[in-house]
């Protein structure tokens, strides 16, 4: 199986610059053989790729696309901490937050955008546990935010 960087290229994706923190935190922290990636929002070229609430102006399909951008940003933060993505043994867990209209209950499908990209990039090492949580609001009024935990060698 190809290395994660090769899979990204095959998908036509390039890792962006690590998104600068929006407050007092760091994008990634390594402790032992785990890397914790702070919540990543769908930033592209320094600006949100979308805003609003899912189920009230943002479709679930668009939110899934934004979750994919969040996951790409999380991979960039992970690579900045470990150097080569081939050192990732496993993506352990993804937690996703979806700014949702009170009647919207499709958060898991929105987070499939992130999970599917992680699987495409990391293969078997990308099989992970996950939580999908609906929230009232997220930073910068983005519809989705994704955080990640990875085991590395």
In this prediction, residue 1 has a pLDDT band, given cuts at 50, 70 and 90, of low
Q: Which residues contact 82 (CB under 8 A, 6 or more apart)?
A: 30, 35, 88, 150, 152
Q: What is the mean pLDDT of residues 32-43?
A: 98
Query: Which residues sit opposite 144 in a β-bridge?
Result: 98
The structure tokens listed for 70 are 């969040």
* Rounded (to 5) percent helix, strand, coil in the chain: 35, 30, 30
Give residue-wise pLDDT tens across range 62-102: 999 999 999 999 999 999 999 999 999 999 999 999 999 99
pLDDT at 22: 84
| Burial letters 43-68, b for 16+ CB under 10 A, else e | beeeebbbbbbbbeebebebbbbbbb
């Amino acid at each position: 199986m190809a290395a994660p960087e090769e899979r990204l290229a095959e998908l036509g994706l390039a890792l962006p610059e690590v998104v600068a923190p929006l407050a007092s935190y760091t994008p990634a922290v390594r402790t032992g053989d785990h890397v914790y990636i702070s919540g990543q929002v769908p930033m592209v070229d320094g600006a949100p790729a979308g805003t609003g609430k899912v189920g009230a102006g943002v479709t679930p399909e668009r939110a899934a696309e934004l979750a994919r951008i969040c996951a790409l940003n999380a991979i960039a933060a992970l690579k900045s901490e470990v150097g080569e993505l081939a050192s990732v043994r496993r993506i352990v867990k993804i937690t996703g937050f979806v700014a949702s209209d009170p009647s919207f209950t499709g958060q898991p499908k929105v987070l499939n955008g992130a999970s599917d990209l992680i699987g495409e990039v990391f293969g078997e090492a990308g099989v992970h546990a996950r939580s999908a949580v609906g929230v009232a609001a997220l930073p910068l009024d983005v519809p989705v935010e994704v955080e990640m935990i990875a085991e590395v060698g």
